[in-house]
Amino acid sequence: MIPAVEKAFRQVKALKIQGAEAVAREMVRALAEEMKAVEAGSREDFLRRMKKTAVVLTSARPTEPALRHAMRFMLFQARKNPSQDAGELKKAVAREAKAFEKTALENKAKIALFGSRLVPHGASVLVHCHSSTIVRVLKKAADDGKRIRVYCTETRPRYQGRVTARELGDYGIKTTLVVDSAANYVLSRMKDTDVVLVGADAITATGDLVNKVGTSLIAAAANEHGIPLYSCTATHKYDPLTLYGVPELIEMRPREEIIDRGMRGFGKVDVLNPAFDVTPARHVAAYVTEIGVLPPQALATAVWKEYGLDKEELF
């Protein structure tokens, strides 16, 4: 790898670049740069090296579906290009890398538009954790003149929900912060709760949602009250490996996020700190994606149709 790419790789690995989209964008850029530098004699040689680089870059964050999706998408585009000339392919890859970034932005705008239509005027909305997509959805709803009230869970242990609350409050949206455990109080007593909005860390072939721990609790409660939960996310969070039975691994985070190092008396207490949990497809009303508002059971086939990735690639 050329030094710039290696640096990007290390930064991703060291969690200095965070967020599914930022990571994917950085690695797509790195892939294009590396391929620009590469000396390839033929189409075959170029594609072989590109695949190898993609595999390496993916390994910087092996649990990130969006990164896997981005690398696979770039390869797919390169292969579709019929040119036999390695130089031509280089340029094509560079063009695709730019397009990737632009498309990502356009997709976010689409999701914000589609999602905002699902938030009626006068609605109360419950949001768990932080997601820039969700914030855009709600700002769009506010921009359209809808009067809404948003309840944000604080989202222990790292309090990402406080960020959501501050961003929305600063934008002039009526915002209320609650502890995570108060979610069902909000759903049941505030009778006007209309929708629950969450993001997505990964989506499986059967439509299950892997997201910030606690999402599945809120989803079960929302289901009891007949309140729809929408996951707003680009389809690159769909993890095609799950089509082949590969389980989505749940990241375990450090003890210190829950028990500060200085706290006394916890010597005999273990800590379990999963970052995510799994919400079954039957508790997700729909995925709000750049393709449209899709029922969970149809997401995999819709993505398959839209992006048509070749299967051998996936093993």
> Which listed residue (87, 254, 298, 310) binds a second copy by CB under 8 A?
298
> Which listed residue (14, 16, 262, 272) binds a second copy by CB under 8 A?
272
Is 211 a binder of a second copy (CB under 8 A)?
A: no
What are the backbone angles phi and psi of residue 294, rounded to the nearest 5°?
-115, 140
Contact indicator for 76, 70 with CB cutoff of 8 Å: no
DSSP 184: H
Is 250 a binder of a second copy (CB under 8 A)?
A: yes
152 is catalytic: no
Smallest separation, CB 166 to a second copy (Å): 5
* Nearest residue to 212 (alpha-carbon basis) of 235, 187, 233: 233
Smallest separation, CB 42 to a second copy (Å): 31
User: What's the burial of 195, exposed, middle or buried (CB within 10 Å: 0-12/13-18/19+)?
Assistant: buried
192 is catalytic: no
Quick one: how far is CA 237 from the chain centroid? 5
Q: Could you tell me the two tokens for 188?
A: 């049941």
Is 296 a binder of a second copy (CB under 8 A)?
A: yes
Q: Which residue in the list 152, 201, 208, 232 is annotated as catalytic? A: 201
Is 59 a binder of a second copy (CB under 8 A)?
A: no
Smallest separation, CB 234 to a second copy (Å): 15
Smallest separation, CB 10 to a second copy (Å): 31
Contact indicator for 177, 162 with CB cutoff of 8 Å: yes
> Which listed residue (169, 307, 309, 313) binds a second copy by CB under 8 A?
169
> Which listed residue (62, 226, 260, 262) binds a second copy by CB under 8 A?
226
Contact indicator for 114, 293 with CB cutoff of 8 Å: yes
Instruction: Give whichever of 199 and 207 is closer to a second copy, judged by the CB atom.
Output: 207
> Which listed residue (1, 17, 94, 243) binds a second copy by CB under 8 A?
243
3-class SS letters over 116-134: HHCCCCCCEEEECCCCHHH
* Nearest residue to 308 (alpha-carbon basis) of 240, 244, 241: 240
Q: Which residue in the list 45, 85, 129, 194 is annotated as catalytic? A: 129
Is 83 a binder of a second copy (CB under 8 A)?
A: no
Q: Could you tell me the two tokens for 72?
A: 């696979």
Active-site amino acid positions: 129, 201
